[in-house]
Amino acid sequence: MSEVRIEHVFKRFGSVTAVNDFNLVVKDGEFVSILGPSGCGKTTTLRMIAGFERATEGEIYIGEQCVSSSIKGSFAPPEKRDIGMVFQSYAVWPHMTVAENVGYPLKIKKVDKAERERRVQEMLELVHLGEYGKRYPNQLSGGQQQRVALARALVAEPGLLLLDEPLSNLDAKLRESMRFEILEIQKKTGITVVYVTHDQGEAMAMSDRVVVMSMGVVQQIGAPHEIYTQPANKMVADFIGLVNFMEGEAKGDRVFLKGSKVSFPNTSKVTGEATIAVRPENISLSLVGGHIVGQVTHRLYLGDAVEYRVKVGDHDVRVIVKGADLNSIPDGAKVYLDFDRVMVFEK
Amino acid sequence: MLDVTLPLMAPSILAGGLLVFIAAGSCFGIPSIVGMPGNIEVMTTRIVTYIYMGDDAGIRDSTALAASLMFIANILLMGMTWMMGRKDYTTISGKSTRPNIVELGKWRWPAFCAVGLYGAIAVIIPLGSIVLTSFLKSMSKPITWSNIGIDPWIPVITSAQYMESVWNSVVYGVIAATIGTLLSLFVAYLAVKTQIKGRSIPDLLVVIGGSTPSIVIALALIITFSGNYGLNLYSTVWIIIVSYLVKYMTMSVRTIAAALSQVHISLEEAALNSGANWLRCCKDIIIPLIAPSVIAGWFLIFMPSFYELTMSLLLYGSDTKTIGVLLYELQTYADTQNASVLSVIILAIVLIGNLILNKLSKGNVGI
Ligand SMILES: Nc1ncnc2c1ncn2[C@@H]1O[C@H](COP(=O)(O)OP(=O)(O)O)[C@@H](O)[C@H]1O
Ligand SMILES: [Mg+2]
């Protein structure tokens, strides 16, 4: 299995800088997700690791092999890298059977037929397609095709598996169950995984660590709970989970809600004008008493919770209360809020 | 219908009309055979007459006429492309849509009769009469069972001279189709799959060649390859084959390019990722996926080359007479009997080719 090192990698398309100074070490056997909104450079990063794009600057190492270096001017083509890849569009070859698809990497490696058939069958069992070897891809569902692609990427036992939004073409139910299948396979094989997604839920649920990107720049790298509870900046806080932003002013170790005497501990180094951020589930709402006064403007029934929109001064604050009864607080009611785990960012 | 469907279809209808106009204006064979007895001349027949005069003045006059013909054809084509290009006409979409079937109601039978009548007058009666004529023992006697037999076929089939022309056409068609398909593959790959600067220039040249009237191509080749520019191909097979390539590569390039553009880039990348190099990827992935279109492209060059008349007529030499030229001669010598036998042979070969083409392209392409 392979460690991946990406050092000061840039990728420019003409005047567009798609990836800007990317640095990351993926440890042997680790599952790392690259997460960010569409167009932020995730695919470009993955394609540089796979060798389909050449980095404008920087070095990429897979295991001991330096696969791309702008200084040495060296570049290993995709077929010379020990990598399996799963594409967003499945990329299963329609003119080959499932078994031929999965067996192709072994055929290229000139593995003899009996051995090849044995390993293909083994892979197909692993992705729960043991009975489907003789079928053609157009006889399979999207989820099954994606599992064929997964089996094909793994069959040659590469040191590294790359996945580019592999679940985004599947329906919601299937996505959930495929998450577990991919994790289970990773556990069984111990392979190093770099997983690209724009779905924060997917990244949080599956990864050992998450790389959050925006506009080609890495915003934060950390374990899912770090990213969620200690986002490095406004962008990360906004992209991961729900968050309310409010204007504030930081003075010493306190931060004040703008235009009020309400203050919270300042956990950051920010002074002066600041942004106060608080997640909806960290706000408690009460009809009797609290620090902040507001008025309910809308209510949304979420099934297991109720989301309230509360007007506090100029701000529209989202509050999510688990297990609340929709009718216990009417629109227009005067309510009291308390903020917990307040985050402070530069304005 | 009047408010929505017709305005939507207007560009297509107009384009269709223009295409027919260009094709008709560039056509030589039909006006020359049908019109010559009545001394009706059109641009193309006049060009040929000038060329046959053989002297400098003849070549000069025919070049002038040819240039204006080409100018008109290309202006019209450009106008058409511009008109079609204003809207996004998607020809290849992943999803297949069911065409809207219109209920004709009480118009059903009149419509059926009109279409049937057109079919009968334009296609069935002429073709039928050719087939019939080819089996008539004697042209001067009435059509009775006793007058029908394979007798007229025997002299044609056993004639070394006739069969040589048929053979020539088959060979030239096969050579042109094979070279043309390989070139088309190259041109289409360049245009669709690479990022090289100027990658679509060869494609553009092919399109210009295809939209140039046959007679203009022939004339240009005569001027270029009769030794003035170092290369003398006049009266050889190659000048004929080059003319076929210039005229007929458009369709095969289009067909192959369409197939190539449907091979999603990730299919190739998955092969590279599996350890295959580029050549292996072509052999195992790209070629198998576009094979039907490549074969279809081959037939799209072979068939029109096989029965080509205009260019062959101007470019053939004593050893390189093609079936089209032979047919033209027989018709001008008023040898209707042998001409119809040959026509039936051509028809049969082209029909078979079309059947294969239709099967391969699932009904999307045909000549
Ligand atoms: N081949 C290319 N040529 C030009 N620009 C590109 C190319 N590939 C990607 N880009 C640009 O790079 C940026 C990042 O793209 P991409 O990596 O695909 O984003 P993501 O996968 O995060 O949605 C986008 O602005 C995109 O337009
Ligand atoms: Mg992407």
pLDDT in tens, A208-245: 999 999 999 999 999 999 999 999 999 999 999 899 99
- Residues in A lying within 8 Å of B, measured between beta carbons: 50-52, 77-79, 83-85, 87-89, 91-95, 104-105, 108-109, 149, 152-153, 156
> In angstroms, what separates the C-alpha of B184 from chain A's closest C-alpha?
23
Closest CA to ligand 1's atom 16: A41
CA angle centred on A202, ends A196 and A206, rounded to 5°: 90
Q: How far is B35 from chain A (nearest CA, A)?
A: 53
**Tokens of residue A50, six digits:** 């796979």
Euclidean distance between CA atoms A260 and A257, whole angstroms: 6
CA distance B155 to B337: 11
pLDDT tens-digit profile of A163-200? Answer: 999 998 888 888 888 899 899 999 999 999 999 999 99
**Contact (CB<8Å) A77/B272:** yes
User: Phi/psi zone of residue A110: left (φ > 0), alpha (ψ -120 to 50 degrees), beta?
Assistant: left
A251, A276, A315, A342, B41 from A248: Cα distances, Å: 10, 6, 11, 11, 90
Residue A5: which of A20, A30, A32, A23 has the closest Cα?
Answer: A23
Give the integer Cα–Cα distance in Å for B288 and B280.
Answer: 12
pTM over cut 0.95: no
CB contact under 8 A, A152 and B285: no
* Per-residue pLDDT, B84: 59
Integer angstrom CA distances of residue B59 from B3, B51, B190, B208, B313:
52, 6, 37, 23, 16
Find the A53 Cα to ligand 1 centroid distance in Å: 11
Mark yes or no for CB contact B272/A79 under 8 Å: yes
Instruction: Note whether B276 contacts A77, CB cutoff 8 Å.
Output: no
Contacts of B274 in chain A (CB under 8 A): 79, 104-105, 108, 152, 156
The number of the ligand 1 atom at minimal distance from the alpha carbon of A45 is 17
Q: How far apart are the C-alpha atoms of A110 and A133, rounded to whole Å?
A: 20
- The average pLDDT across A25-36 equals 96
The single-letter code of the amino acid at A185 is I
Radius of gyration for chain B, computed over Cα atoms and rounded to the nearest angstrom: 23
Contact between residue A173 and residue A165 where contact means Cβ atoms under 8 Å apart? no
If one counts every other C-beta atom within 10 angstroms of the C-beta of residue A111, the result is 18
Question: Are A262 and A291 contacting, i.e. CB atoms less than 8 angstroms apart?
Answer: yes
Which among A188, A204, A101, A214 is positioned nearest to A150, based on CA atoms? A101
Nearest-Cα residue of chain B relative to residue A102? B274
CA B219 centroid distance within chain: 18
* Res B159: pLDDT: 81
Residue pLDDT tens, chain B, 367 long: 667 767 777 766 776 676 677 667 667 767 776 666 666 777 777 777 776 766 667 767 777 777 777 777 777 777 766 665 554 433 333 333 445 666 777 777 888 888 888 877 777 787 787 787 778 777 677 777 777 777 777 777 778 888 888 899 999 999 999 999 999 999 999 988 888 888 888 888 888 888 888 888 888 888 888 777 777 777 788 999 999 999 999 889 988 998 898 888 899 999 999 999 999 999 999 999 998 889 889 988 998 999 888 888 888 888 888 888 888 888 777 777 788 888 888 888 888 888 887 777 665 555 5
Q: Rounded distance, CA B134 to CA B129, Å?
A: 8
Structure tokens at B316: 């053939």
Residues whose CB falls within 8 Å of the CB of residue A45, separated by 6 or more in sequence, listed in order:
A6, A9, A11, A19, A22, A34, A196, A213
CB within 8 Å: A104 and B276: yes
Domains of chain B: 1-85 (no CATH), 106-151 (no CATH), 157-367 (1.10.3720.10)
Ligand 1 contacts (CB < 6 A) are A 13, 16, 18, 36, 38-44
Specify whether the CB–CB gap between A182 and A170 falls below 8 A.
no
pLDDT for position B363: 58
Nearest C-alpha neighbor of B59 from the set B230, B246, B227, B220: B220
